[in-house]
Amino acid sequence: MPATAQAPPALDCTGPFARTADEKTVAEAFGASHVSRADIPIGEGSTEPGTVVFADDKEKRIDILWHDPAARARPAAVIVRNGSTWRVALAGSPGRSVGLGMPLTEVEALNGKPFGVNGFGWDGGGFAGTWHDGDLARPAGGCTLTLRFDQAADAPADALDKTNGDIELLSSDPILRQTKPVVSEVVLGWPQ
């Protein structure tokens, strides 16, 4: 996609984010002037070398980590967070996608069934990727989809306490729903 072309409505694991893609593929898709190298935050204050698309545009930014960081080849993770408006396409469902700010209940409806969510309050907190063979288990292009949820600031304290810790909750859990989680990070990933 030339730099002057309009952005696609949703990302998937094809083209610039296919299993065999590299930084050159990303630059060809988004325009070389929109692609830069940076240290990408991976949690607990750590970073890894990666590639950023639209580094200076919070609404378009995409972070990419590589299985081969030296060659910037074979995407390990394509990350949308911090206000980016990109959405991720659902396989076999034209027009259906998942993105930042989406409520837990809406994600469950897209999945077609309850899914697992890590308890909150730790570095792995709020992550969901156990889709229980729902529609989100297979994003367009064949990679994996992981979402991270944040709880609402005004959630009841007792519900927050009951959903914290290294536990797995179901998205249908009424106590979890009281915390009003919304998607705060979307990650498309390729296993090694």
- Cβ-in-10-Å burial (0-12, 13-18, 19+) of 175 comes to middle
Task: Give the pLDDT confidence score for residue 44 in this predicted structure.
Answer: 83
Confidence of residue 113 (pLDDT cuts 50, 70, 90): very high
Regarding whether 98 and 179 lie in a shared domain, the answer is yes
pLDDT at residue 4 greater than cutoff 60: no
Regarding whether 163 and 105 lie in a shared domain, the answer is yes
Distances (CA, A) of 48 to 39, 77, 110, 123, 127: 5, 11, 32, 16, 20
Regarding whether 112 and 56 lie in a shared domain, the answer is no
Domain's final residue, options 41, 56, 81: 81
Regarding whether 118 and 35 lie in a shared domain, the answer is no
The verdict on residue 44 lying in a domain is yes
Which tokens go with 11?
Answer: 């990302």
Confidence of residue 123 (pLDDT cuts 50, 70, 90): confident
Residues 48-79: tens digit of each pLDDT: 999 999 999 999 999 999 999 999 999 999 99
The verdict on residue 67 lying in a domain is yes
Residues 6+ apart with CB under 8 A from 98: 87, 88, 90, 107, 110, 136, 145, 147, 183, 186
The verdict on residue 76 lying in a domain is yes
Q: How far apart are CA 11 and CA 158, in angstroms?
A: 37
Residues 9-41: tens digit of each pLDDT: 589 999 999 999 999 999 999 999 999 999 999
The verdict on residue 2 lying in a domain is no
Please answer whether residues 91 and 139 qualify as being in contact, where contact means their C-beta atoms are separated by less than 8 angstroms: yes
Task: Give the pLDDT confidence score for residue 9 in this predicted structure.
Answer: 59
Confidence of residue 92 (pLDDT cuts 50, 70, 90): confident
**% of the chain residues with pLDDT over 90:** 81
Residue-range definition of the domain harbouring residue 52: 15-81
The verdict on residue 3 lying in a domain is no
Regarding whether 165 and 113 lie in a shared domain, the answer is yes
Domain's final residue, options 48, 81, 114: 81
pLDDT at residue 160 greater than cutoff 70: yes
> Mean pLDDT, the chain, as a whole number?
92
Give the total number of structural domains in the chain: 2
